[in-house]
Structure 1
């Protein structure tokens, strides 16, 4: 092989390697649910077909400057394949073949071996391909009819790099008979014809080639597929059919048909015919998946019921029924964390100018908050009515529990007293008749050592 062959070989190898690694990396991502382990990925194939000494890409033939002197002739070609599928899009294939490539010259006056002294005129040529081996990247182009999961059809393309051992023989007659005017079997590797120095293993000439092809597979069963294809094989060898014009680069095509057998357990699907959409469709139809979905719905329903139970508060005291130890508490009644009414010291003196004997419970607040609780509205609305009717005055004393600094709690207690005052003013009570003060942590009505005590200390007292 010359430098040009080595260069083309390196380029083709790089292309196959790059595409192969890219697809292999993609295959690391699991398909749909199960990933590659849920499929069968190895297969072997047998194939047979015919060869022709040309390709669809066109160009002149090996013998002579004029196209048409050397004509196509059919030769036999057969072989084996071993393939590893890395994803539903890409696989690597090891292919081995052997057979013959034939052609003949219909113009009896044409001197095919012009310039090669002592060989005579060739009328036909037969190249025996004793063996050809290549590594191919196989690209799945599309699986059709995949929803039925039967008789699937899959189109593919392949490109690779290989080496063949061949021996061309040229004959004096155009029917591959008569005198052999060219046959170097047993002589390859020797110095022949001056500047020609063919290399090989004596019986065969070794040539690198690049196979490029397309095909289609028909799924006959879960194990067997019918494989039909066409491959063009390109070389950098001008002795593929024996001596020819110097600028010729040998090529040939083969059309084949065969059977491919998928290896592995029949309980697994064939990754060659796999399609992510079909897999998703199948798994959604799977009864076991439906059962899991239904079980999940029941668990969600149970969880929703539990949430409803935990949030239900029949008496509106802010404590859910599940934790309320004193259900049915009248609206507006201050309660502790267990939902029971909070007991406050009795206030002896009535509010100035408010109906004698009237008692208003302290207004409670949440931790670190001066926002009025909705449970306080009933008490404050009653106070608003009596103050407007009696045109009296009232004193509001704000307090806080002992969490935080004293200065912070003093300001918080003032904010609480002003929050109550603002509610009364909004209700129609004259601001001048309301005095609001904050006393911070002073005068606790319960111990700040417990949460129940601290709840009671977060308050605004209503007095004269």
Structure 2
């Protein structure tokens, strides 16, 4: 089992590298990319006892120097894998009685263990690193646990004799289970102060050269520095909860902005409808808008002229045939007819050709059908109103130039009768039209 574990440690390190390669494929090259690799160095105190229970083999334990390093891969802001290595010495003796007062009759008077190497793969979980309103923390607590392999040489002493090699001076290899706690402090963007304490449970009772029927253990209390590698801020200090909160606020602000735009558009549409109603208002129902009616209050049923005044019925005239020249006058008017954007207001450049149409209607007493059309931009209801209003606007203008209102029919078809595709600007321009039909 120990040999297999020794073979698995390089595979575990390879898994760290592979995990980083897979994750790198998912990361973008944005300026806020996060750093996930780090290395650490530390030094501290090694002691051959544990406060977590069990028997101590020697009545007096001693502290000695230990030192180590690690490489860490941060998987999420709260979880990482860390490959640790530790070296140092462990010492103790039986120069004192046991704390219970029992005399110390151990055959081994002292020991010294050279911890040649200690390698372990640990899972590290960050604790208390969540703040709703802070994107990054500066202090965090963490817990760790894992498994690894330790190699050590032991020397023991009997009575007053000096230390001698235990087990023929061979390096003993044993499985270890490290369990620890720590606190980390952010000193700079790429540098952290790391304080920790680890209890290492040994799968054997030979760490101190004395067999007493229970597995040995040792402590490592340390302080050190951790250095983040690569570009970007450290993922370990990153707080996705705060970022989610920020995104929610931004979404709310965007929704409020869209609502303001919608309210402004509704107000503009209401203003446009009010202007159109005011322009086309015909209080006496004679077919001439109030703004153009020179004889308001005309009784119902009375035929009026283009100015809204009662029309004197002319003597019957001979029927006039529509000629190609007449059709050309109408075609020119259609070609040159333009309105203000989104409105039914006729632009001044259209007046000349409309005047010729009005003169033609007066001269030959033609009837005229006006058909308003739009493209598919906007709602169907709005387009239907706009097409109707534009046809009525042309009728009102022709009547103002003397044409007989009763011989002009204005109808709106909205976007229901396109003559070109609405997928292009040119096609939509063709669909925005008022058709003139003489009869």
Which of the five TM-score ranges fits, normalised by the shorter chain?
0.5 to 0.7
TM-score w.r.t. length of structure 1 = 0.51
| Inter-partner Cα distance in structure 2 for 1:237 and 1:35 | 51
> Counterpart of 2:391 in 1: which secondary structure?
coil
- 1:211 matched to 2:178? The reply is yes
- 1:274 matched to 2:212? The reply is no
Listed as ranges, the matches of 1:336-351 within 5 Å are 336-337=372-373, 338=387, 339-341=390-392
Cα gap change, 1:262/1:147 in structure 2, threshold over 3 Å: closer, same or farther?
Answer: farther
Q: Counterpart of 1:141?
A: 127
Matched residue count: 312
Query: Which is helix-richer, 1 or 2?
Result: 2
- 1:322 matched to 2:311? The reply is no
| Inter-partner Cα distance in structure 1 for 2:59 and 2:14 | 37
- Measured after TM superposition, the shift of residue 158 of structure 1 is 1.1
> Counterpart of 1:244 in 2: which secondary structure?
coil
| Inter-partner Cα distance in structure 1 for 2:82 and 2:120 | 8
Residue in structure 1 matching 2:197, options 230, 233, 242: 230
- Measured after TM superposition, the shift of residue 172 of structure 1 is 2.2
Listed as ranges, the matches of 1:56-455 within 5 Å are 56-61=51-56, 63=57, 70-105=59-94, 106-107=96-97, 110-112=104-106, 121-143=107-129, 152-173=138-159, 178-180=161-163, 183-186=166-169, 188=170, 204-245=171-212, 247-265=213-231, 268-277=232-241, 301=261, 308=268, 312-313=272-273, 314-316=275-277, 322-323=341-342, 324=344, 336-337=372-373, 338=387, 339-341=390-392
- Measured after TM superposition, the shift of residue 302 of structure 1 is 11
Retained in 1: the 8 A contact 2:130–2:241? no
- Measured after TM superposition, the shift of residue 230 of structure 1 is 0.7
Cα gap change, 1:41/1:86 in structure 2, threshold over 3 Å: closer, same or farther?
Answer: same
| Inter-partner Cα distance in structure 2 for 1:35 and 1:92 | 25
> Counterpart of 2:91 in 1: which secondary structure?
strand
| Inter-partner Cα distance in structure 2 for 1:134 and 1:37 | 32
TM-score w.r.t. length of structure 2 = 0.54
> Counterpart of 1:315 in 2: which secondary structure?
helix
Q: Counterpart of 2:40?
A: 45
| Runs (5+) with no aligned partner, structure 2 | 281-338, 348-368, 374-386, 396-405, 418-432
| Inter-partner Cα distance in structure 2 for 1:34 and 1:300 | 35
- Measured after TM superposition, the shift of residue 182 of structure 1 is 5.5
1:290-320 C-alpha deviation (Å, 9 max, x unpaired): xxx89x9699859956993698243247xx9
Cα gap change, 1:148/1:110 in structure 2, threshold over 3 Å: closer, same or farther?
Answer: same
- Measured after TM superposition, the shift of residue 264 of structure 1 is 3.0
Retained in 2: the 8 A contact 1:151–1:221? no
Retained in 2: the 8 A contact 1:128–1:166? yes
| Runs (5+) with no aligned partner, structure 1 | 64-68, 113-120, 189-203, 328-332, 344-358, 370-400, 402-450, 456-464
- Measured after TM superposition, the shift of residue 21 of structure 1 is 12
